[in-house]
Structure 1
Amino acid sequence: MLRSQHAESEVMASTMPSVRTILDQATQRLAGLPTARRDAELLLQHVLGRNRAWLIVHSDDAMTAEQVTQFESWILRRAAQEPVQYIVGEQEFWGLRLRVTPDVLIPRPETEHLVEAALERLPEGETVRVADIGTGSGAIAIALAASRPQALVTALDLSEAALRIARENAAAHGVAERMRFLQSDLLAAVRGERFAMIVSNPPYVPGGEELEPQVRDFEPHSALFAGAEGLDVYRRLIPEAAEVLEPGGWLLMEIGHGQRAALAELLAGWDDIAFVDDLQGIPRVVMARKAIDR
Structure 2
Amino acid sequence: MFFSIIIPLYNRPQEIEELLNTLTEQSYTAFEVLVIEDGSTLDAKDIVASFQSKLDIHYYFKPNEGQGFARNYGFERAKGDYFIIFDSDCLIPEDYLENVKNHLYNEPLDAFGGPDAAHPSFTPIQRAISYAMTSVFTTGGIRGKAKNAGGQFHPRSFNMGLSKKVWEKVGGFILTRLGEDIEYSIRIHQAGFKIGLIPNAFVYHKRRTSFKQFWKQLHFFGRARINITTFFPKTLKLVHFFPAVFTLFLIITLLANLFFEVLAPTFNFFLSIYILLIFFDSWSKNKSAKVAFLSIFASFIQLTAYGFGFMQDFWKKLILKNKL
> What TM-score does the superposition give when structure 1 sets the normalisation length?
0.27
Higher relative contact order (Cα pairs below 8 Å, separated by 6+ residues): 2
Computing the radius of gyration from Cα coordinates, the structure with the larger value is 1
Bigger helix share: 2
Of Structure 1 and Structure 2, the greater strand share is in: 1
